[in-house]
Structures are given as structure tokens and as C-alpha cells.
Structure 1
Amino acid sequence: MRRILPVLAGASMLAALLVAGPQSSATPVPTPEVTLPPIPAISGLPIPSLPTDLLVPKFTGAPAAKQPIAHPPIPQNPWLSPDGTNTMHNDSYASDAYQVSGPLGQSLKVKSASYGVRECATIAFDSHNRIVGLCGGLEGFGMMVIDPVTLKPISELRTSARNLATGTNPLTDICGGTYFFLDADDVAYPTTGQKTIQKIQVQADGKLVRQHEWSLAANVAADDCLIATMPDYDGRIWFFTQQGTVGTLDRDTGAIKTYELPDGEEVTNSVATDETGGMYVVSTHALYRLDATADGVPEVTWRETYDRGSRLKTGNLSQGSGTTPTLLGDRWVAINDNADPKTNVLVYDRREGVTDRLHCTQPVLADNAGTTDNSLVAAGNSFIIENNYGYGGPTTTILGKTTTPGLARVMVEDDGCHVAWTSNEIAPSSVAKASLGNGLLYAYTKPKLTNPLSNALDAWYFTAIDIRTGKTVWSRLMGTGIQWNNHYAAIYLGPDGAAYIATLAGLIRITDG
């Protein structure tokens, strides 16, 4: 027990913190001979389990049979590693869907590893199928290369310090450490809290080497920060700041070109891009398609405002859509709004020449208790939304508390949209993922337990939902306690179909037996 106390204490400290509260060229930043040391991982230790695991069901339901779902093709962005391995949302379309078949629930094997008080919210997979993670803790962010089977760290590199002097809550701070992308040459491109984009090579032996760093400080306001980065299909690196600066970086010349969204519009999520040159981003007021001119200047191709509501809902990081735009086929792009009494899934026609872009406004989730701060999942001819209403951080899901139920599938037809099903599963903050290879939607759930012996316990489950029917197929306990909270991190499927979930204390791997 002594060996796990630091992890538990650290997780408690995280929870306590939540309660408390012009055009230019990029200047290359030389890599110093002496860099910040990595935050040492706790090699070999699992995420600590508790005796209370014995008081809740370990597995419910039954194994599934594969029922693959056909999905419109997603063109491979040549500047990203293969789809399913390159970003938090799987591909340039931000589909959150995998072609590979994930766990079916057959004699599930669960393995975990603790990395201290760090969460690897975004992970990718290199050409050797190793995990490449961007992991954040109280002190800042770092890249990690992790063995995909043992979950032991292979190498680490500190990328960005966190400025705690600003009073920013580390649990809601997404500046310079949430998103990155991996290219086909095993090179990662994370943003930093120091307003830079780094180029980090994952070598054949798994070591991380910082090759280059571009400073964007001259193009980003002193009180602003980098949120997201993504390459378009021509290889430009686009970047987006919280206060609405949109920029492109030519990594050969270092040239930076920027555009400013209207005053008051913020960006708090990632972005999507397609093969026609469009870059799609949602601000707290509108959905945008931007394109770059021949010399790289970002321009607004179209802008669609939406109902951003009258309040910041518990479960959102900003007053507005909580989604990364999700693309489907060669026609659709979808987000959610922030309307009341019901939030809506909004589906737009992104084709060139369309004058009436809003295809449908589909109400979903509970009245006055529905929102999401996670990307919609594209599966077949549908978008799936997860309800995060009521999640305000780790303290809102302790002592048996949980959030508002609800996942819903919205079908898109030529003449409109309709809700195919609504699930009562409760997924406080996970980025759900679809396995097109087997027809299952994976969510990270925390049910409201009714057994008098367990209703004050905090049990976290890896849950599989039938995409076609919305019925829960099975749920497997990961553990009880705050250390199993995944706090807005995504679910991932590796190239071999293994599932991974990051938590406040480490990483979980789930496979069929």
C-alpha cells in the first residue's frame, strides 16, 4: 500500500485544484544542449486498485459478434501517419472511427500502468505500432513513447512548462499541450505553452529527439495561447489560438501568415481538414471553412453562426459548441450547438457552391441538461453525440456522484435528419470511439449504482454499445476511485485492435482474451 499512496495523493491533489479553483517569418528556436528533464514515469506499477472493486459488478452483458459498418471513404492526408494512428480524432476528417475491430468482450484482459499524476490525453501510433503520447501533469507537458503491450515507457521528452503563476486551473488548461499530430515519418508536432510548434522525431529505437522549433510568439498575443495544429493536404501547418488567431506555417521557409476571427470568438477544440483544401474550425460563435491563398494567407470561405445559448453549461470549457468539426463523406460536416432547452446536432453541406448550408437541426439529449465537450463520432451515415452535462472535473464524480445520462445517434438522409436511438449510459467526459470493423461504439462510463453497498463508490467501466441499435452489449470494470477518471481523454484503438484509455494516473489496455 505504501507504494501506491503517492499516486492516490496526487490524484486527490488534482481534485483539490479543481475546487480551488502581423505577417512575419517564424524564428527558428535552437534546441539547447541542456533541456528540461523529463517527468519520470513510475515504471512497472499499475494504476492502483482498491478493495472496493469487489463490491461492484466486474462484467455485465455478453460478448459481441462482429457486425462491420460500411463508412464513406476518408482520403489519407499525405502529411499524416496512416488514418487511425495520427491524432486524437483518428484522421483529418476527425471521424473518431476506426476500420480495425476492437475488443468484442471475450474474456477481456485489462492491464494498466501508472505514470504518476499525468494524463496522456492525445496518443498516436508510430510505424512500429508503439504509443506516442502527449502527456500533461501539474508542471507541464511531455512526449512519451510507450510499449503498446507492457505499457512501460521507452523514452520521454519534456516539451512545455505550465505557467502556474497565472492561476490557471491545470485540469481545464488546454493551452499548448492537448493536441498534436504524427506524420508518416514518425515525427510529432506538438504545440507548447511558450507559443511554439516543435518537431520531434521518434527514432527507430524509440528515443525522442527534438529536431526543430518554430516560435509563433510574434504572431500570438501575450495573453493568448496555442490550442490546435493540423497539416492541410498541401503540407502547410495550420495553428489556432484560444483568442481566435488562425495561422499557417510554411515549414520550409518559416513564413507565417495569419487571420483574426472576430473579437470575442474563441477556439477551444481541435480542427478537421479535407482533400479540397478546406480547414474546418468551430469558434464559440460560428463554424468556419477556411482556405489558404497561394502564398498561404488564411481566408474565410464561409461562416455559419449557431445558437451559442445564454450560459456556460457545466460540462463545457466555453460557451458554445464543444465539438471538433466532424466530416462525413464528401458532403457533410457536423457540430453541436449550445441551445436550450435542447442542444442540437447541426449538419451542414460543405460542398462548393451550396448557398443554404444548414442541412438539419436535430434536437438531442435531455431538456436543459444536455451538452457535449467532445467530438461527434461519424459512423456510417450518422453522427453520435455523448452527453457531458454536469461534469465539472474529478470532484463532480466522486462519492458516488455522476453526470447526466445520454448518447444519441443522428441519422443523416438527403431530406433531413432523425434520431435513431438514445442510450441511457452515462459517460461523464470520454471521447467515445466507433469500431467500424465490428459495429461497436466504445464509451467510458460511470453508472449511478443503486446497490446500498456500492452506491457511494466510484466505479468506471469500459462499455460497448451496438451502433445499430443503441443497446449496451457489455461493460467491463476498470476500477473504483478517482484514479480511474479519464477526464476528457479519448479512447483509442491500436493497429492490432487493442483499446486504450488514459486516466488521471496512467493508461489502460483492454484486449479480448
Structure 2
Amino acid sequence: MHRFPWVRAVRWRGALPVLIAACALPATTATAAPTAPPCGTPVAAHEPPCNPHLADSGWGASHRGSYASGASPYPGPRPADQVRWQHVQLPRSITQVPVVIDFSSAYPDGGRVAWMSTVSTPDLSAVHKVDVATGRVIDSATKPAAGTGASISGAYNLLDRDDHLFVGRARSLEVYGDARPGERGSPIAQLASFAVPQSALCGADDQLVGITMTYDGHIAFATERGAVGVVPRTLPELTAENVRSVQLNGERCTDGTPAADLEIVSNSISADEDGGIYVVTSKAMHRIQWDGRRLRSGWRARYETGTNAGGVRLGEGSGSTPDVVGTGRDRDRFVVITDGQPLMHLVLLWRDEIPAGWQPIAPGKDPRIACEIPVRFGDPTRTTSSSEQSVLTSGYSSFVVNNTLANEALFAALPPAQRRVAAALAGQDPLNAPYGMERIDWDPATRTCRSVWANPDVSIPNGIPTLSTASGLVYGQGQRLGTWGLEGLDIETGRQVLRVPASPGPDSNSLYAATAVGPDGAVWQGVAGGIDIYRGPVRPAPATRCFDLDRPRLAVLSVRGRRLSGRATDRACGAATRPLVRVVVRRGGRVVARPRTRADAQGRFALTLPARGRGALRIEAVATDPAGLRSVVRRRVLR
């Protein structure tokens, strides 16, 4: 399957002497061809493309998938449903929290399991396997801690298409799976423990934090001190020789620079189908580009990092995993975070080329920033706000929850790790709990952001919310009068329309864990020492359609007089399609022609160039397939 523009040698004929100087560059750098067959993307609104290397369950990675949107097309509980709360206690320790829950592909018997790693104090390095239908804990695996107790290393994980669980802990990638492959009730086996080489770390004290799956089947990881690497997911290729890495801190990793002066990563990462890997640090937002052979910096953009440490925030910078927003069919495509200003802002950054003519939104702002809007949760007088959760996104809509305690000064004197736990526990107190959720939309017509609604009353103190496009609700683990339970808000209005009580005890405190909509329609929530599951009626999953990873092949074949001809072919999921071909012709920086056509059944196309004139012609040919994937060839023609 081809991910790079395909260019054949050019043959020149005719009366006009023509010289073409090659300067072909893809519009966005594409990754190497994936080795897996195409996957099924659910037919639902605003669906990001499925990643064929993740578990076939619709929820195989932190924040659901490689885009890290956190949104689900699967139906969850609705206001009129009878919903049952089930608490699952994990063995060994009440302090362990499964921050991320992944769901397996279907086993031969039709059942599925949920996999999770946990963070805890003391660190148990635990992994658990739970039956989806019953909530029964099938098996657990623990071992002595390999890192420091204060790190979030191990919080993030992913489940690949072979149902192997990858967890980044300390300086290793641990891989778990079934001891008896294909058997749902099988105990857990550790399949590998891959020590990341020192060359792919930043200093002796560095540890793995974020993890995601690239669309060509590599595990991408980021460390606390800004090392970013990739390694193949297949176990025989999980070797030091196959690691590719870059250092966001460069030589500062080895020149004695104090850790406080480094760019620090405290969230997970995300990836798109064009090879972009998105990492937010305490100083800047980064796109790292993976082309199947090497990693390089795509771009770096400064955002307002602030010095807002207190409550759930432990230092400067964003508290959110970057979300990838916009698919191949969308004109505007972003990466979305919240920033670190005292009054937190939602920030959208152009993830591809900055649009031509785009001006910075304000003096001194990075031109890559498309939107920076304050999040006040419905209080126009608010001067402070913060969130330690990934932004929940669906299409051009972003949903942000408030994590600012009423009195954060109570915890200021505590060490950072203790302060974060104390703040999470205090979030259950109605007098100190955070309140508020806000929806902010990007308007592609005006290319601006606006607040759609704000609910100042809902309290989701420290959990990562999700939503179901099928049910039309945003879900989160909330407290009311000190009792935990499932909150459901209407996506369109923000009105609270669903409440399922759980427990008034600390064992239902979400402690920064993510909410997930399972493949059976139940909502799963990691909590202190276990899982809260909210089970409503089982509804059918949405239909799926093949996700086309195959870019069209574009070949400029010949110029004869003013006639430019070529071939543009595409095979989407095994079927031939006819790509649309657009050509933009410029002379002296001015557009002189914009011809377009569609390739015929054999892939041939022909277009007419402008008449002879003074100066070189710059030609950009773009072939677009039905999935919105593009191949681009740029040429300079001297006539």
C-alpha cells in the first residue's frame, strides 16, 4: 500500500523547449506503507480513521485511539435507560488506579476482555485482565517497581491488533498477552520487557511517559525529559537496533542542564495517518515527523505555558494529551491542547501547513496557533481555571472540565506527588470540589472559536470525560453532595440529563482516570483500587466501512505543447477509484490557471497549460481519492 507520491520519469516532446527542475515535495510527509490489512472505521459522525494496528474493538489505546479524541461512536446509557452500577475491586491495593482501560478484539467465542495497567503508591507495576460481559477479574500480574513512586510512568498503555498490551514503565516497554493465545479465560503472560537504549533517553533519570501507535504499526513513545522514539510493535522486531529517536532537548540532555530548564513531558502523545506524532512539553507543542525510516522535527510552536502549579497542576505547561482534530476530508486540521495560563485557554494549532495568508491571532503569538480562547466555565468574572485532563473532542467541538479546587492554598505546602493525591481526594468534598464543563467549537467559515455552552454546576473533579455520538451524551465520573456517580450531559445543550449514583466512599474516586464507552455500550471508569462499570441496555455497534490508507498514485508523464498529461490511479480497499486531479499553475507568484479533471477508468488525465509567457511556470498537481487522501507533485517549468 503506497503512502508516498509516486512519480515516473518525465518524457518531453513537442516544439517548445521545456526544462523542468525537480523540486517535488509532498503536501504532508507520508509514512511508510502499513503491513496490516485495512481496518473498519465506524460509520458515525466525526469519526477519526481507525488504526489497523490497534485492537479491533473501537477502544485500543489511551484516549481511545491514535487521535486521542476520547470520543466514541458506540452507544452508551441514555436518560430513560435502567442503568446498573457495578464495582470491580482489583486485587492487592486500594491505592492502585487503572488510568486507561483498553478493550480487546473479539475472541473466537465472541467475548472480549478489558486490559489495564495501573499506577499506585507503592508502585505495584500491575496489569489486570477483566471479562467485559461480567466484570470478573480473570488474572492480575504484579512485580517489583522499576521506577520512582512519584512518576506517572505506566499510566498510559495500548492494545495492538494481536491483543498484546504495551506499557511504558520506567525505562522499558513491557508487553503482556494471553498465556494461551485465543482463550478469553487465559492467565496473563509477560511476553517481553524491552529496555529502551540509553541513546533514546535523555539522561540517567529519564522515564517513559506517553505511548501511542503510528499508522504504520510502530510503537511511538515519549519520555519525561523529551525523548521521542519509535520501534516496531511486532515482538521479533522489538530490538534496540530498530529504535529511531529524537531529543527535544538536544544537547541539553548531556551538558549538565538542570532538569528544571528542560522541556518536560507529563502527558501522553498522539499520532495521525500522515506520520505526525504530537508531543506537548512544558515549553512548546511539537510535531515529530515519522516517514517509516527516520524521525525528525516537523515543527515546534510556543504556547502560553504559565507557572500555574497548585492543586492538580504540578508545574508549568499544558495538562492535556494533544488531540488530533480533522480528517483527510476536512480543510482545517489541528492539534488541540489546553495551556498553562492562570486563566486556562483552549488552544488549536494548525497541524499541517499554516494556511496561506494566515496572520498571527495577536502580536507575539506563534502563527501556528489558530485559536486561543479562555475557558471560564460559564463565569464571566473568573480569573483562574485549570484542567489536568485531555481535551475531549468530536469534530470541531472541544469539551473541557474544570479541575480547580475552591481552596487550593490548603495544599500548597505539600510535596508535588502528595499534593496531587490530596487534591484528588479533596475533590469529593462538595465545598471544595471543582465545578464546570464547557464546550468550545471551531467555526470553519469564520476560522474562529466560540463558546457553545457552559455548565457551571456539574462536578467532574479529576476524571477524563468521554462522549458517545450515538447517544448524544458526554459522560464523566462526577460527585453530587459527596457521592460519586455517572454524569451524562446533552452534547448540544450541556444540560445534565443522566445521573447514576455509585458510592459515597473514596473507592469510587476517579483519581485522574479516563472514562470509556465499551464495545457492549457500558461505561467503564477507573477508580481507586478498581473499576466502576455502568451497564445499560446492550445496543448494536455501528456499522463499519473500510478505512483507506492507500494514497493515490500520481505520475506526470509528458508535456506536448501546452498539453500536460499523466496518470492518477487509486485502489481503495481493493476497489479501483478515479482520483480527482487539480493543477495550480503560477507565474511570478501569481496564479494563472487552476485546471481540474478526473482520471478516466485507466487512470489517464490531460490538462491544458497557459499560453507561452515570460517567466517560469510553477506547477502543483494534486490527486485526491474518495477518502480525501492526496498525492502532490510540484514542478518548476522553464519555457
Q: TM-score, normalised by structure 2?
A: 0.64
**What is the one-letter code of the residue matched to 2:460?**
A
Q: Which residue of 2 aligns with 1:362?
A: 373
CA distance in 1, matches of 2:51, 2:292: 19
Q: Which residue of 2 aligns with 1:496?
A: 520
| Aligned pair partner of 2:472 in 439, 442, 448 | 439
2:205 counterpart of 1:231: no
2:435 counterpart of 1:405: yes
Q: Which residue of 1 aligns with 2:161?
A: 184
Deviation, structure 1 residue 268? 0.7
CA distance in 1, matches of 2:82, 2:104: 28
| Aligned pair partner of 2:326 in 329, 342, 357 | 329
**What is the one-letter code of the residue matched to 1:109?**
R
Once the two structures are superposed, residues 354-392 of structure 1 have per-residue CA deviations (whole angstroms, 9 ceiling, x without a partner) of 464221111112633311111111123211111111284
**What is the one-letter code of the residue matched to 1:505?**
G
Question: 2:426 is paired with a residue of what secondary structure?
Answer: helix
2:282 counterpart of 1:287: no
Change (3 A) 1:207 1:403: same
Once the two structures are superposed, residues 394-444 of structure 1 have per-residue CA deviations (whole angstroms, 9 ceiling, x without a partner) of 442355543221111011112211000011211111100010111100011
Q: Which moved more, 1:91-100 or 1:72-81?
A: 72-81
Q: Which residue of 2 aligns with 1:380?
A: 395
Deviation, structure 1 residue 150? 2.6
CA distance in 2, matches of 1:73, 1:307: 30
Q: Which residue of 2 aligns with 1:34?
A: none
Q: Could you tell me whether the CA contact under 8 Å between 1:87 and 1:124 is conserved in 2?
A: yes
Q: Which residue of 2 aligns with 1:344?
A: 345
Instruction: In structure 1, list runs of 5 or more residues that go unmatched.
Output: 1-67, 450-457
Q: Could you tell me whether the CA contact under 8 Å between 1:225 and 1:241 is conserved in 2?
A: yes
CA distance in 1, matches of 2:48, 2:325: 8
Instruction: In structure 2, list runs of 5 or more residues that go unmatched.
Output: 1-41, 107-111, 253-261, 328-332, 357-366, 409-419, 538-639
Change (3 A) 1:399 1:234: closer
2:228 counterpart of 1:246: yes
Q: Could you tell me whether the CA contact under 8 Å between 1:69 and 1:438 is conserved in 2?
A: no
Deviation, structure 1 residue 200? 1.8
CA distance in 2, matches of 1:338, 1:295: 34
Question: 1:444 is paired with a residue of what secondary structure?
Answer: strand
Larger Rg: 2
Q: Could you tell me whether the CA contact under 8 Å between 1:83 and 1:91 is conserved in 2?
A: no
Please tell me the root mean square deviation across aligned C-alpha atoms, in Å.
Answer: 2.2
**What is the one-letter code of the residue matched to 1:181?**
L
2:534 counterpart of 1:510: yes
| Aligned pair partner of 2:53 in 74, 79, 83 | 79
**What is the one-letter code of the residue matched to 1:187?**
H
Deviation, structure 1 residue 293? 4.8
Question: 1:483 is paired with a residue of what secondary structure?
Answer: helix
Once the two structures are superposed, residues 116-148 of structure 1 have per-residue CA deviations (whole angstroms, 9 ceiling, x without a partner) of 412221111112321111123323222211112
Q: Could you tell me whether the CA contact under 8 Å between 1:427 and 1:446 is conserved in 2?
A: yes
Q: Which residue of 2 aligns with 1:303?
A: 300
Q: Could you tell me whether the CA contact under 8 Å between 2:428 and 2:483 is conserved in 1?
A: no
Question: 1:480 is paired with a residue of what secondary structure?
Answer: coil
Deviation, structure 1 residue 82? 3.1
CA distance in 1, matches of 2:400, 2:428: 24
Q: Could you tell me whether the CA contact under 8 Å between 2:487 and 2:496 is conserved in 1?
A: yes
Q: Which residue of 2 aligns with 1:54?
A: none
**What is the one-letter code of the residue matched to 1:319?**
E
| Aligned pair partner of 1:148 in 126, 132, 139 | 132
CA distance in 1, matches of 2:271, 2:135: 31
Deviation, structure 1 residue 295? 3.0
Q: Could you tell me whether the CA contact under 8 Å between 1:69 and 1:436 is conserved in 2?
A: no
**What is the one-letter code of the residue matched to 2:465?**
A
**What is the one-letter code of the residue matched to 1:260?**
Q
CA distance in 1, matches of 2:191, 2:138: 19
CA distance in 1, matches of 2:143, 2:287: 30
Once the two structures are superposed, residues 223-260 of structure 1 have per-residue CA deviations (whole angstroms, 9 ceiling, x without a partner) of 11110122211222221110111122245253223221
CA distance in 2, matches of 1:295, 1:149: 41
Q: Which residue of 1 aligns with 2:38?
A: none
Q: Could you tell me whether the CA contact under 8 Å between 2:425 and 2:509 is conserved in 1?
A: no
Deviation, structure 1 residue 504? 0.6
2:194 counterpart of 1:214: yes
Q: Could you tell me whether the CA contact under 8 Å between 1:83 and 1:90 is conserved in 2?
A: no
Aligned-pair identity in percent equals 26
